[in-house]
């Protein structure tokens, strides 16, 4: 099995890819390599599309991530591709958050048009496909969820939001707590709904090692989503928010040890 970028730099090998990123960022290539080795910086790309690369982390420039995507009300592939062309000019990474239309066709067209690494939230499609085929979003199986992750990776997706740090127990406590807004994360809400409906633990959490195997194969990056991020100032850094962040830190350590690049969505929110 080919070495991941983390494993290469840990062995003292600085690839042309790392050198190119260092030149673009204006940083010393050795310093960048050490930061990648420690997990304090990552390259965002899928090995299937090595020409679409961005980098985030310590000492690197602030990046613009462009969120686009269809909805259940508005589905226009041409409109999304026009957004991609604008993102190619002004952005650094691109995220397809589509929830309407043929999601496979839309994602693949976006990846073809994009000059940037593309990210997704595979739980969206698992939930939506389940609703269409089975009459309920929470009816997908664990295997169907992981098959969806692998499908996105095969298509060349470079990074994915994976809500792995929210456990069933924590979700229940948050829903029963005194939060102003219990849950604002769409992907997190879908996954929590699945856990409650099926009376089961978060499959991303219980099968984290398998998640790492999948991402290691494509040397893609995981963005650990924060399902319990605050939607109101009063909820910021409450016990549920902090508990998820602590669990995320444990998952980060396991990912780094496995040679998988990982970042954490962050302690705040975009709303």
pTM of the model: 0.95
- Is residue 11 a part of any domain in this protein? no
Task: State residue 71's pLDDT score.
Answer: 97
Average the pLDDT over 51-67 and give the result.
96
3-state percent helix, strand, coil for the chain, nearest multiple of 5: 50, 10, 40
Residue 71 lies inside a defined structural domain of this protein: yes
Q: Which range marks the domain in which residue 171 is found?
A: 62-264
Whether pLDDT at 267 is above 90: no
Classify the C-alpha dihedral 146-55-266-81 as positive or negative: negative
What is the tens place of the pLDDT at every residue in 90-117? 999 999 999 999 999 999 999 999 999 9
Q: How many domains does the chain have?
A: 1
| Residue 57 maps to a domain | no
DSSP H/E element including 264: strand 262-264
Provide φ and ψ at 137, rounded to 5°: -65, -25
Q: What is the structure's pLDDT at 268? A: 59
pLDDT of residue 171: 97
pLDDT value, residue 7: 96
Residue 55: inside a domain: no
SS3 at position 164: coil
| Across 171-185, average pLDDT | 95
Mean pLDDT within 129-135? 97
What pLDDT score was predicted for residue 271? 44
Q: What is the CATH number of the domain that holds 125?
A: 3.20.20.540
- What is the structure's pLDDT at 269? 57
């Amino acid at each position: 099995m080919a070495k991941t970028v983390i494993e290469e730099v840990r062995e003292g090998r600085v690839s042309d890819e790392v050198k190119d990123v260092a030149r673009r960022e204006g940083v010393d290539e050795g310093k960048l390599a050490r930061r990648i080795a420690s997990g304090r910086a990552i390259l965002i790309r899928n090995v299937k599309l090595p020409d679409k690369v961005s980098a985030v982390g310590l000492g690197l420039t602030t990046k613009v991530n462009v969120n686009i995507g269809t909805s259940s009300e508005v589905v226009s592939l041409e409109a999304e591709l026009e957004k991609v062309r604008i993102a190619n000019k002004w952005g650094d990474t691109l995220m397809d958050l589509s929830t309407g239309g043929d999601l496979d066709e839309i994602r693949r067209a976006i990846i073809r048009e994009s000059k940037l690494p593309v990210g997704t939230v595979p739980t969206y499609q698992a939930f939506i496909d389940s609703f269409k085929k089975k009459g309920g979003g929470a009816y997908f199986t664990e295997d169907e969820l992981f098959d969806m992750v692998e499908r996105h990776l095969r298509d060349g997706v470079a990074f994915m939001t994976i809500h792995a740090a929210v456990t069933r127990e924590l979700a229940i406590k948050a829903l029963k707590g005194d939060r102003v807004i219990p849950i604002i994360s769409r992907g997190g809400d879908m996954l929590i709904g699945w856990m409650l409906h099926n009376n089961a633990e978060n499959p991303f959490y219980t099968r984290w090692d398998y998640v790492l195997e999948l991402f290691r194969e494509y040397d893609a990056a995981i963005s650990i989503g924060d399902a319990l991020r605050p939607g109101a100032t009063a909820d910021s850094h409450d016990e549920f928010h902090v508990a998820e962040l602590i669990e995320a830190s444990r998952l980060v350590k396991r990912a780094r040890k496995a040679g998988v690049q990982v970042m954490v969505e962050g302690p705040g929110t975009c709303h």
